[in-house]
Structure 1
Amino acid sequence: MSKSWRIANLSVAEDEKVKGYLELPTIDEKLPAFLVNGSEEGPKVLVMGGIHGCEYTSIDAAQKIGASLLPSQLNGKMIVLPIANPASFYARSIYVHPKDQKNLNRMFPGKEDGTDAERLAYWLNESVFKEVDYMIDLHGGDMIEALVPFTIYHVTEDEKVLEASKEMASLFDIDYVIGSNGQVPGSTYGCAAEQGVPAIIAEAGQQGIMSEEHSLLLQKGVKNILIFLGLLEGEAEKSDSTFLSVFDWYRSDTKGLWYPAVRIGDAVAKGRVLGKLVNEFGDTVKEVVSHTEGTVLFLVSSLAINETDPLLAVGA
């Protein structure tokens, strides 16, 4: 039989499930959490949603995964955090923590004495990431983002972690799997992977809309990974994903209005005009041109754009 398990203030006995609020030092908000301790020994897995508070489909998927898991089904231990950034969720704050205006998914491993997002990142890493063997971080299009579902893993020098992360990322019924070479510094999955924990991000759903279809896609993918890792019984299903090594991000260098000339899923050639930025009088300030040949995976749908805001990303 498996032994009891403690994460911060929460503990779960063998062959039991606990629902409660995770309390982290110096963090005002309490994080809803499911702890499930299986009837047999096995890996320890973290599933998260809500690192970005308005990515509702991923939050719904994580919540339903946590609610549905039973200790009798599980060979191992799981912690599920469906709303990992409650301040952003309840403030309906896109991208950033409402108190310091910093993107939590750029702050890891965080700072113990930092700003709100930096402290949350620090304590999530210290109290949760370092207590598990695998991490699955669920995301989706924020309120102003459209995207094609995709998964990302971190390309680390640790071959064992790299291969495990790549395999996990390929177990969703999703067309595109991206190997990221640190293009997104401070991310959950990059931080975990560099600490020896295989980790991925899975993205589905968009524009702040709760999509049942995409929630089910994420739920199915997570359960497929749990089967692959041996936590659940069954046979993991392989998918025919396209593996990408380039995730080419485009950001605005000015404040203005954004008019994309492409849609998500479009194939684009190098040199194609992807959209234009205009000023408040309608004068074109800049045309955004593709650096690569690939597929538009992510696209900001907001007319209003601030300096340094993302505009779109092309996978190649």
Structure 2
Amino acid sequence: MIIGNLQVAPGEKVNGYLELPTVPERLPAFLIRGETDGPKVLVLGGIHGCEYTSIDAALKIGRSVQAKEIRGTVIVLPIANPASFYARSIYVHPRDQKNLNRVFPGRVDGTDSERLAYWINELCFKEVDYIIDLHGGDMIESLVPFTIYHITENQQLVEDSKKIASLFDINYVVGSTGQVPGSTYGTAAEQGKVAIIAEAGQNGLLDPTDSHRLQEGTKNVLRSIGILAGDIVETASTHLSRFDWYRASSKSLWYSNVMIGQSVAKGDLLGELVDEFGETMEKIYARTSGVILFLVTSLAINVNDPLLAVGE
């Protein structure tokens, strides 16, 4: 199997740097191939460079999975956005200030993020059957562990994605209808791939417990699709039908009125944006009833920055 400049033979494990045309950074990669053919899975970490718990989880998956114990192929890119990682840049690529998880499938002649997305899509997404994209709370994000899958018109694909999203020891599973364009899992699903995002960890901290949660969830998925041997661990999660984002309409200071994991009802006050003199500019009310999955913990907010998300 060949992925860009890297190749792996049956029964072999290869560590090396994946070189992407027109992208200056090289991506550390693990290619692990069993002796027998089977599904092909891509595990991603570090799409957002400061989500350290998920990066650690992907790295440890890449180190721990061995060719002799699997059927099929596992590809792990633990630091998929090295420029953002080493610049400690929250959300965005440091050179073009774009969110990599909003520009897939990218453009071959685009900006830095768009070119990176293009080549990850071309060289990796198109070569695999399953994609597990590991995330967590960035430096200004607090969240409850959850997974997301993309709802398409392909009902079998939706069911398969929902199934693997439910195999993590995680609080909530969300079926997203595509309110966030350009994501890894949405782009992959539109190409017919079974794809999910799994989120655990918060505020840019390396949390060993949540890293272990992501590692074990990923391996549970590998067992469920026949790559790894062993019993599938059954989990119990709450299924949500919508992931509703709230964004700032102005440059302001953000005061939240809620906490992650809190249940809210339509019309509840979620928080307010104030000016630099402390005067209220806008009050944010719940548009739906649900649970707070994600919350920005930064006082400083720019126009269109996310504030929180409610799982309905």
Residue 235 of structure 1 deviates from its aligned partner by 1.6
| Equivalence for 2:23 | 27
Residue 13 of structure 1 deviates from its aligned partner by 1.4
| Equivalence for 1:197 | 193
Residue 237 of structure 1 deviates from its aligned partner by 1.5
SS of 1:40's equivalent?
coil
Residue 159 of structure 1 deviates from its aligned partner by 1.7
Cα distance in 2 between the residues matched to 1:62 and 1:108: 20
Cα distance in 1 between the residues matched to 2:241 and 2:115: 31
| Equivalence for 1:79 | 75
Does 1:245 pair with 2:241? yes
Cα distance in 2 between the residues matched to 1:281 and 1:251: 21
Residue 39 of structure 1 deviates from its aligned partner by 1.8
Write the mapping of 1:209-224 to structure 2, written as runs, cut at 5 A.
Answer: 209-224=205-220
Match of 1:300 among 280, 293, 296: 296
| Equivalence for 1:139 | 135
| Equivalence for 2:286 | 290
SS of 1:94's equivalent?
coil
Counterpart residue identity of residue 56, structure 2: D
Residue 40 of structure 1 deviates from its aligned partner by 1.8
Write the mapping of 1:37-116 to structure 2, written as runs, cut at 5 A.
Answer: 37-116=33-112
Cα distance in 2 between the residues matched to 1:167 and 1:246: 17
Deviation readout 1:199-248 (Å, 9 max, x if unpaired):
00000000000000000000000000000000000121121111111111
SS of 1:39's equivalent?
coil
Cα distance in 2 between the residues matched to 1:26 and 1:72: 35
Deviation readout 1:275-312 (Å, 9 max, x if unpaired):
11100011011110001111000000000000000000
Cα distance in 2 between the residues matched to 1:134 and 1:158: 15
Deviation readout 1:163-189 (Å, 9 max, x if unpaired):
111101000011100000001100000
Cα distance in 2 between the residues matched to 1:156 and 1:235: 30
Gaps of 5+ in 2: none
| Equivalence for 2:124 | 128
Cα distance in 2 between the residues matched to 1:264 and 1:243: 17
Deviation readout 1:246-280 (Å, 9 max, x if unpaired):
11110000001000000000111111100111000
Cα distance in 2 between the residues matched to 1:129 and 1:159: 20
| Equivalence for 1:254 | 250
Deviation readout 1:34-72 (Å, 9 max, x if unpaired):
000112211000000000000000000000000001101
| Equivalence for 1:264 | 260
Misfit runs of 4+, over 6 Å? none
Cα distance in 1 between the residues matched to 2:296 and 2:228: 37
Residue 17 of structure 1 deviates from its aligned partner by 0.3
Cα distance in 1 between the residues matched to 2:199 and 2:142: 11
What TM-score, normalized to structure 1?
Answer: 0.98
Does 1:207 pair with 2:203? yes
Cα distance in 2 between the residues matched to 1:122 and 1:226: 26
| Equivalence for 1:170 | 166
Cα distance in 1 between the residues matched to 2:275 and 2:244: 25
| Equivalence for 1:16 | 12
Gaps of 5+ in 1: none
Identity percentage of aligned residues? 66
| Equivalence for 2:177 | 181
Counterpart residue identity of residue 57, structure 1: T
C-alpha root-mean-square deviation of aligned residues, in Å?
A: 0.6
Cα distance in 2 between the residues matched to 1:184 and 1:174: 21
Cα distance in 2 between the residues matched to 1:278 and 1:140: 28
| Equivalence for 2:150 | 154
Residue 99 of structure 1 deviates from its aligned partner by 0.6
Cα distance in 1 between the residues matched to 2:157 and 2:190: 9
Write the mapping of 1:274-289 to structure 2, written as runs, cut at 5 A.
Answer: 274-289=270-285
Residue 160 of structure 1 deviates from its aligned partner by 2.0
